[in-house]
Amino acid sequence: MIRGNYGAAVVFAASHGGQDSARGNHEGRENTVTDVAERLARKGDRGEPVRQMRLALAHIGVWSSTKLAFVLSVCLNVVTVVLLLLVVRFLTDTEVFSSVTGVFEDLTNKPVNLGQFLDPGVVGGFIAAVVLLNTVLITTLGALYALLFNLSVRVTGGTFVGFRNS
- Domain residue ranges of the chain, discontinuous segments joined by +: 2-61+153-165, 63-151
* pLDDT value, residue 129: 95
Mean pLDDT of 66-79: 97
Per-residue three-class SS string for 54-77: EEEEEEECHHHHHHHHHHHHHHHH
Q: Give residue-wise pLDDT tens across range 17-29.
A: 444 444 444 444 4
* pLDDT value, residue 36: 64
Task: Say what the pTM is.
Answer: 0.61
Q: How far apart are the first and last CA of the chain?
A: 21
Mean pLDDT of 53-77: 93
